[in-house]
Structure 1
Amino acid sequence: MLLIVVCGCSVNKKNVSGLITLVNNETEKKVDVLIDKNLFTSYLYSDDISVLKKTTLYPIIAANGQTVTRGYPLNTRPNERTDHPHHIGAWFNFGDVNGLDFWGNSDEIKTPKEKLGTIRHEKIVALENGEQKASMDVQANWLKPDGSVLLKEETKFVFYAENGKRIIDRVTTLKAQSEMVSFNDTKEGMFAIRTARELEHPSDSPVNLSDENGHKTTVKVVNNTGVSGNYMSSEGIEGADVWGTRAKWMALSGTINKEDVTLVIMDGPQNMGYPTYWHARSYGLFSANPFGQKAFTDGKEASMNFSLKPNSSVTFTYRIEILNGNYSRERLESEYQKFVND
């Protein structure tokens, strides 16, 4: 049974940004998250999109109306990188779970199917609408190539709307089923966003970009038009140097259509491997990965190789903040403390 609740809690009207409504579109297999009837994001759970082998939040739109996620491969915009077709929206998975690659699974990638894992939505448990805050509880299965369930997933999403700010909390619990489940050391994971072209770092290397009609091209070019991204970590590291470092939060700022945006991922203090390592690339992959410490340190740290015994579980908590404007490190730390104390 799907539970839909409208929250009647009182709020400070001075700070209200809008009503958040969750709309389940069973035909298109998605839940739209609307703020004052404007799209914030959608939870995509279709099994029929060939490039999508997991659930994801796509697109994600800032309070100022700018889209912070890449369009490719679902809705390619002009002048976008067309690499890594498995990087779609904001998602949660991992590249080596009992030897199966859940991270790199896409029909556009020619990996043998027997080496790939798939995450499939099972059901929506509850939707709760409200002023400034709404939530969604969902269940999904991490499947082996033969279709049997390796892990059961329970996830709560909480969405917040404030003036100039959008927030997504994700709390995911993974439960092993009948066998031991090992998360083997790899850089490919775990809580990730593939960002809009404007939030990439400028590069002198030629890359394949989509044309003015959003079609893939085969000629590599150097074109940094509108590219303005810069990472900053909680530890004060900036730019591409943040890759493979630990931090409790990571921010990516840039300008999209003349609007400044800051995108932040925050690591919950109770998470395994806290503070997490960051698989944060200058080309727009922005990911927190608690299980890749050997890969990120070139072997200086030993592999964690975390395992779950049958019927045991582990929970991960993350926050995404999408902020209008540029934020200082001090202001971002203040935002992080709000997350920790919520």
Structure 2
Amino acid sequence: MKKIMPLVFIVIFLLSVFSYCTQSGNGEAKVEFIKDSSNEKIDIFINDLFFTSFIYPGTLEKPCLYPILTPSGKFITRGYPLEPRPFERVDHPHHVGLWLNFGNVNGLDFWNNSSAIAPERKKEYGSVRLDSIIALNPQKGELITLSSWVDYREKRLLSEKTTYIFGGIGNEQRCIERISQLTAEQEVIFKSNKEGFFGLRVDRAFEAPEDRPIKRLDASGILAEEPFMYNEDVNGVYRNHEGLTGESGVWGKRTPWVALRAEKEGEIITLVILDHKENPNYPGWPHAREYGLFSMNNLGGDGMDKNADPIEIRLAPGESISFRHKLVIGGDLSDEEINQLMDHFNKH
């Protein structure tokens, strides 16, 4: 009995640390924020290692977290279009880092807006503009911001108060929790659309092998003259809570979590998006494409599944709606471990 008790105590202690990390987001991690106003960003360090930056340059149509790295220093985000890397695809220039927006708000497309949109078409799109940084709290790992969803004339449709909670477990796991409160500044209608909602564009390693030539950069990082195939080190596999795999298995299939696993430079990395049970239309519809888009869409509805009910959410001026999501970056996470993460997330 004397030999067993210390082991039991250690197990209980480790479980308590794991639970705290997965519940609060910050856990045992030391979080540091470094403001760089001249470059319109805030760098986030965890346990003295660079993790990500909150960036808000006027050249982007929404603030986002970019780049995002594992504790070992490997990119999980695509470089293109901000910092292109060799052999990357050159599609979807609006897919930058980790972000949140939507494809149909009062008929405006916030999701697809980028510098690639012709000026004469900008009236069809919306943008998210950072208004202010409300708080930086390294003790809680919290970054709180205030932004505006605006049309092409900069007229506000929504104000957005966002709380990011950064954390992790030692140098083995990282997590980003995002709580997004949207408040109507005028009457606002959200309608079913596949283009949403909490989205991440991932590094090449997390893509699935391509079976046809596509436009991509060459070995020097310059756009190749002709499309070509290049599947070296590409091995990403999607899976969800129901045990379905691949894009055909997970895309548009409602689920409380969706995971993406790949081996990169000898390290197995699993990315998980958790959908909180209190979100509208829980569980959401993953907008998960094998070319590298990884997203959970709570407003997909019949825009993603023809058998689903159409979504129409109306907010009168002053009314709010909130969403809560979490991205976990870990090692070779099993379904059981992901379900434990999900359970802890839903308890708070």
2:342 corresponds to 1:336? yes
Match of 1:277 among 285, 288, 294: 285
Given candidates 14, 26, 30, the residue that maps to 2:37 is 26
CA RMSD of aligned residues (A): 1.6
Q: Which of residues 209, 232, 238 is equivalent to 2:245?
A: 238
Do 1:235 and 1:247's aligned partners in 2 also have CA atoms closer than 8 Å? yes
User: CA–CA distance in 2 between the matches of 1:292 and 1:157?
Assistant: 23
How far apart are the structure 1 equivalents of 2:299 and 2:138? 34
Q: Is the 8 A contact 1:279 1:287 kept in 2?
A: yes
- Aligned-pair CA distance for 1:218: 3.7
| 1:238-277 correspondence to structure 2 within 5 Å | 238-240=245-247, 241-277=249-285
Aligned to 2:137: 128
* Aligned-residue offset at 1:222: 1.7
Q: Deviation of residue 17 (structure 1)?
A: 6.1
Quote the offset at 1:161 in angstroms. Answer: 2.2
The residue identity in structure 2 corresponding to 1:22 is: F
How far did residue 326 of structure 1 move? 1.4
Tell me whether 106-115 or 27-36 shows the greater mean CA deviation. Answer: 106-115
**Deviation, structure 1 residue 205:** 2.0
Query: In the alignment, what sits opposite 1:290?
Result: 298
Counterpart amino acid of residue 340 in structure 1: N
What is residue 114 of structure 1 aligned with on the other side? 123
Query: Within 2, Cα distance between the matches of 1:37 and 1:161?
Result: 12
Q: How many pairs were matched up?
A: 322
Give the SS at the match of 1:280. coil
Matches within 5 A, 1:71-90: 71-90=79-98
3-state SS of paired residue (1:337): helix
Matched, 1:35 2:35: no
**Amino acid in structure 1 at the alignment position of 2:229:** V
Determine whether 1:59 maps to 2:53: no
Provide runs of 4+ in structure 1 moved above 6 Å: none
What's the CA shift for 1:235? 1.2
Structure 2: stretches of 5+ with no match in the other structure: 1-15, 22-26
TM (normalized to structure 1)?
0.91
Higher helix share: 2
The percent identity for this pair of structures is: 37
Per the alignment, in what secondary structure is the counterpart of residue 272 of structure 1? coil
Contact 1:66–1:259 at 8 Å: present in 2 too?
Answer: no
In structure 2, distance between residues paired with 1:205 and 1:17: 45
Contact 2:29 2:167 in 1 (8 A): no
Alignment gaps of 5+ in structure 1: 1-10
Structure having the higher Rg? 2
Q: Once the 2 structures are TM-superposed, how far is the Cα of residue 109 of structure 1 from its aligned partner?
A: 3.0
8 A Cα contact 2:88 2:204, kept in partner:
yes
Task: Determine the C-alpha separation between the residues in 2 that align with 1:201 and 1:56.
Answer: 24
Taking structure 2 as the reference length, the TM-score comes to 0.89
Question: What amino acid maps onto 1:155 in structure 2?
Answer: T
